[in-house]
């Protein structure tokens, strides 16, 4: 299985991108706090994985025109249409939906960490004192936490599972309902005849309610989906397009709380990207760290990690992108990473460029994995 993995750094010089809410433990009860996690004696601000995914999905919808699955609320649950044939995001971001006695679930091919501050709270967090005064009477004081830091996040995109949907009766793998198989099982069961009839009627009713023959089977045939008994596979062009655009969306990432007061550009200012035959992401931890209040890059660890997993690095390429204005003192370190890796591992090529170019070149390698020609890849980029 091939995974496209990466690590990103987002520069957040004056930000409050994900809020926890009012701190009820304070007597004044007017302090809005950011989300934090604890590691040892230190605390770090973070953006939840769910929030990052929301930004990602919205970027894909607005920048790339993804057809996003509508949300339905039922009691205390909210769920999507669970139709990855029709909706791009149901494919890449996964879903869970209960239909009567049947539950369909899809493990998301795209997995990501939270965005966690590299710097601990003691040198990154500030409280902004403000007043609501556009009303008659005394101004009402309020306080908002915000921070100046660099946020680190990592992701993994399962390329084999993008555009592939299974009918396996197992949590996470029953992506779609095999109605014919269900009815056949009921017909062959030993339950009482009237109960058997009622069960089949319920399944047929469900088939009609979700427009199975029209929105699933009919659409799948129209798109050229490979319809097998145990799985459906989208055409390689659609699979490649969804995977490529998922990667490219990072170039245009937008979102976050408190943007009115603490406007922040959340596009990555540093990325390191590669593809591995396995679910490993060696860039998740320890390649950036805090030292004396600064964010440092551990070039030795990066070289060691890539060497360690060089046998499953496919293709033998690593893409590093850095914004020109971000961490100018890292330039020599990046050149040294390239020099040391290519010297000790001649088959491995390290590309150092801007963030935008690194994401584009990496996305092209992702498209090639699906067997697309350079001309077909060009068309995806032109349509993007």
Q: Using the predicted structure, report yes or no on whether residue 268 has a pLDDT greater than 60.
A: yes
pLDDT of residue 358: 98
- Quick one: pLDDT band at residue 132, thresholds 50, 70, 90? low
Neighbours of 375 (CB within 10 A): 7
In a domain, 195, yes or no: no
> How many whole angstroms from its chain centre is CA 118?
20
pLDDT at residue 145 in the model: 93
Beta bridge partners of 145: 127
- Segment 114-123 mean pLDDT: 94
Range with the poorest average pLDDT among 28-42, 58-72, 103-117 = 28-42
pLDDT digit string, tens, across residues 196-213: 999 999 999 999 999 999
The answer to whether the CB of 59 falls within 8 A of the CB of 68 is no
Element (H, E) at 339: helix 331-344
Q: What's the CA gap between 208 and 310, in Å, rounded?
A: 51
34 closest CA partner among 121, 141, 105, 107: 121
Instruction: Inform me whether the pLDDT recorded for 30 exceeds 90.
Output: no
Q: How confident is the model at residue 135 (pLDDT cuts 50, 70, 90)?
A: low
173 conformational bin, left if phi > 0, alpha if psi -120 to 50, beta if neither: alpha
Question: Quick one: pLDDT at residue 170?
Answer: 84
Q: Does 66 map to a domain?
A: yes
Cα 202 to the center of its chain, rounded Å = 36
Mean pLDDT of 76-97: 93
Residue 352's nearest CA partner among 363, 362, 343, 365 is 362
Gap between the Cα atoms of 310 and 106, Å rounded: 30
Please, which residues have CB within 8 angstroms of residue 23's CB and are 6 or more apart in sequence? Answer: 29, 31, 32, 33
The single residue listed with the structure tokens 């409050």 is 16
The upper half-sphere exposure of residue 287, i.e. CA atoms within 13 Å in the direction of its Cβ, equals: 26
Token pair for residue 232?
A: 């459906």
Domain assignment present for residue 163? The answer is: yes
| Total of domains in the chain | 1
- Residue 52's pLDDT band (boundaries 50, 70, 90)? very high
pLDDT score at 139: 63
User: Is the confidence at residue 100, as pLDDT, over 80?
Assistant: no
pLDDT of residue 42: 93
Please say if the pLDDT value at position 143 is more than 80.
yes
Take residue 316 and report the two structure tokens written for it.
Answer: 């033998």
- Over residues 33-37, the mean pLDDT reads 95
Task: Give the contacts of 205 (CB within 8 A, at least 6 positions apart).
Answer: none
Nearest to 84 by CA among 224, 233, 209, 244: 233
Q: What is the mean pLDDT of residues 178-191?
A: 87
Residue 208 falls inside a structural domain:
no
Q: According to the model, what pLDDT value does residue 137 have? A: 55
Whether the per-residue pLDDT at 240 is higher than 70: the answer is: yes
**pLDDT higher than threshold 90 for residue 26:** no
Residue 306 has a pLDDT of: 97
pLDDT of residue 180: 87
Average pLDDT over residues 254-267: 94
Q: Which domain holds residue 343?
A: 3-178+229-383
Mean pLDDT, rounded, for 253-261: 94
The model's pLDDT over 289-308, given as tens digits with 9 standing for 90+, comes to 999 999 999 999 999 999 99
- In 3D space, the residue among 22, 8, 64, 86 whose CA is nearest the CA of residue 266 turns out to be 8
Is 4's pLDDT higher than 70?
Answer: yes
For residue 148, tell me if it sits in a domain: yes
């Amino acid at each position: 299985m091939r995974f496209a993995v990466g690590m990103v750094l987002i520069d957040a010089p004056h930000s409050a991108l994900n809020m926890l809410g009012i701190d009820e433990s304070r007597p004044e009860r007017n302090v809005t706090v950011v989300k934090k996690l604890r590691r040892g004696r230190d605390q770090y601000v973070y953006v939840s994985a769910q929030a990052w995914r929301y930004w990602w999905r919205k970027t894909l919808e607005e920048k790339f025109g993804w057809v996003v699955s509508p949300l339905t609320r039922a009691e205390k649950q909210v769920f999507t249409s669970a139709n990855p044939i029709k909706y791009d995001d149901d494919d890449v971001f996964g879903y869970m939906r209960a239909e009567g006695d049947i539950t369909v679930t899809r493990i998301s091919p795209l997995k990501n960490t939270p965005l966690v501050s590299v710097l601990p709270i003691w040198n990154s967090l500030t409280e902004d004192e403000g007043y609501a005064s556009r009303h008659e009477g005394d101004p009402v004081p309020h306080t908002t936490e915000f921070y100046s830091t660099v946020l680190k996040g990592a992701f993994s995109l399962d390329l084999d599972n993008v555009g592939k949907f299974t009918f396996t009766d197992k949590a996470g793998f029953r992506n779609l309902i095999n109605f014919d198989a269900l009815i056949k099982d009921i017909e062959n069961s030993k339950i009482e005849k009237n109960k058997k009839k009622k069960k089949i009627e319920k399944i047929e009713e469900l088939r009609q309610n979700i427009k199975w023959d029209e929105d699933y089977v009919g659409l799948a045939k129209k798109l050229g989906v490979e319809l097998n008994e145990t799985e459906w596979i989208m055409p390689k062009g659609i699979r490649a397009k969804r995977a490529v655009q998922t990667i490219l969306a990072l170039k245009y990432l937008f979102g976050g709380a408190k943007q009115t007061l603490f406007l922040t550009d959340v596009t990555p200012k540093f990325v390191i990207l590669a593809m591995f035959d396995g679910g490993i992401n060696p860039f998740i931890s320890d390649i950036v760290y805090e030292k004396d209040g600064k964010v440092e890059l551990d070039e030795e660890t990066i070289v060691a990690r890539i060497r360690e997993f060089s046998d499953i690095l496919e293709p033998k390429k690593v893409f590093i992108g850095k914004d020109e204005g971000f961490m100018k003192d890292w330039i020599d370190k990046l050149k040294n990473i390239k020099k040391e890796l290519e010297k000790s591992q001649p088959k491995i090529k390290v590309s150092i460029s801007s963030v935008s170019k690194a994401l584009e070149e990496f996305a092209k390698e992702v498209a090639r994995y699906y067997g697309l020609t350079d001309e077909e890849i060009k068309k995806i980029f032109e349509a993007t």
